[in-house]
Amino acid sequence: MKLPSLALMLIMLLVRASVGFQESKEPLNLADPDVKKAYDKLSPDAKRTVNRLNEIIKKKDYKPNEELLQLAILTHGKLFRVESLKAYTLEYVTHAHPQIMNALRKSTLSDDKLQLIAINYFMLKEAKYRRDYLQVLGLLYQGGKANPANFTDADRELALALEKLFVQARVSKPFIDVDIAEVDASLMASREKDFEKDVNDIINAKAGSSVLDLGLPSIKRDFDLKDKGTQVDILKLAKLVNTKKYDVKDEFIFQVLGEHGYLFNSSQLNGWLLTYSNSNKEKAYLDKELAATGLTGAKRNVVIISYYKTRQFHDRKYYFDILQRAYTNGTPNFSKLNDDDRAFIKLRNHMFP
C-alpha cells in the first residue's frame, strides 16, 4: 500500500531536517558553501590535517601534540564553527594548564571571555609565549578582578612584548578587560617618580654611605650621560649593594658591572660581590672551576670579583680556562700560555693575581 504523497513528503522533510540537524553539530561546517569551496581547494595533506582536527574536536581529545594542534588551528581554524572551536580550545587549555585556568574561571571573566583567551592562546606560535600569556593573565586577574597593580616591571615588559606578537597576529585587546598600553603609561609615570626619588636619596646620602656617589661631579656627569634604562639598572644594583640584599640574577650583575662598574665604589662593591658569590647558586660552579688553580684567600677573591665584572660569557669562560692552565697550587706559570692567552692577560692584567 503506497503512502499518500503528502505523508511521504512530510517524512522526507523530517529526514532532511534530521540530517541537517546532525550536520549542524559537525565542527567542520562543510554545509556552508564558502567553507566547502575553501576546503575543496586544499591540498590532500591539508585536507587530512583539517579532517584530523575535526575528529579531535568531535571526540574531545585533549592530548594531541600541541605544536601540530596550534598550527592546524592557526592555519585552518576559519573552516570550523566558531562555537565548536571556542568550546574545544577552552577545554584543551584548561586541561593543559589547570591551575591558571581554574583560577581565571573563578575571576570576573565571563565564559565568552575565557573562550576568547583560549583562542588567543593558539594564535601564538611558540609554546614559551603561550605559557607566558597565561602567566601574565594569571597575575593580572589574581584576586578575581583585573588589577594591573599586580604587575612588576618585568611582568609589564613581558605583557608589552606579548601584545606586540598579538598585533602581528591581528589580535586586538588580548588581555580582555585591560589595555596594556594604558597600564604601561601609568606604570612608567610611577616608575619616573621612584627613579627621581632614588636619585635624590643617593645624592643626599651621607658621604661614603652609598656605593654609587652621585654627589661627586665626575660620577654624576657620567651617570647623566647614560640612557634612562641604563640609569634604572645602575640604581637598582646600587640599592641592592647599599641595603645588602642579594636577590638578583648573575646576568644582571655581569651586564651592569661589565659596562658601568667604574661608577661604583670598589671597596663597598667588592665586599658585596664576595658575599653574593657565597650565597649564590653559582658557588658550587666557582668552587669547581677554581679548585684546580689552588688559588685561595685574597688571590681567589680577586678572581671572583673580576669574574662578576666581566660582561661577555665567552670572556668569562676563557678567563677560567687561562687560570686553570696558568696556576698550580696558587702559583702562576705563564710559560705554558700561547700568544692569544698573553694578549688577553695584557689587557686585563689586574685580573691575574
For residue 198, what pLDDT is reported? Answer: 74
For residue 12, what pLDDT is reported? Answer: 54
- pLDDT at position 233 over 70: yes
Which among 313, 212, 192, 314 is positioned nearest to 255, based on CA atoms?
313
CA atoms within 13 A on the CB side of 225: 8
First to last CA, the chain: 112
For residue 317, what pLDDT is reported? Answer: 92
For residue 1, what pLDDT is reported? Answer: 45
Tell me the average pLDDT of the chain: 85
Q: Which three cell numbers stand for residue 55?
A: 575528529
- pLDDT at position 108 over 90: no
- pLDDT at position 4 over 90: no
**112-168, pLDDT tens digit by residue?**
999 999 999 999 999 999 999 999 999 888 878 888 777 777 787 888 889 889 988
Q: Which whole number is the average pLDDT over 335-341?
A: 90
**276-312, pLDDT tens digit by residue?**
998 767 788 888 889 989 999 999 999 999 999 998 8
> Which of the four pLDDT bands, split at 50, 70 and 90, describes residue 186?
low
For residue 16, what pLDDT is reported? Answer: 52
Rg (C-alpha) for the chain, rounded Å, is 31
227: left (phi over 0), alpha (psi -120 to 50) or beta: beta
Which among 307, 301, 239 is positioned nearest to 275, based on CA atoms?
301
> So where are the chain's domains?
23-151, 209-351
For residue 282, what pLDDT is reported? Answer: 76
For residue 20, what pLDDT is reported? Answer: 46
For residue 22, what pLDDT is reported? Answer: 45
For residue 21, what pLDDT is reported? Answer: 43
- pLDDT at position 19 over 50: no
CA distance 213 to 227: 18
CA distance 230 to 166: 28
In this structure, of 98-112, 178-192, 335-349, the range with the lowest mean pLDDT score is 178-192
Q: What's the predicted TM-score (pTM) here?
A: 0.51
Q: Which DSSP symbol is given to 192?
A: H
> Which of the four pLDDT bands, split at 50, 70 and 90, describes residue 17?
very low
One-letter-per-residue 3-state SS of 214-258:
CCCHHHHHHHHCCCHHHHHHHHHHHHHHHCCCCCCCHHHHHHHHH
Pick 200 or 92 by higher pLDDT: 92
For residue 183, what pLDDT is reported? Answer: 63
Residue with grid cell 586544499, as numbered in its chain: 42
Q: Which three cell numbers stand for residue 167?
A: 598585533
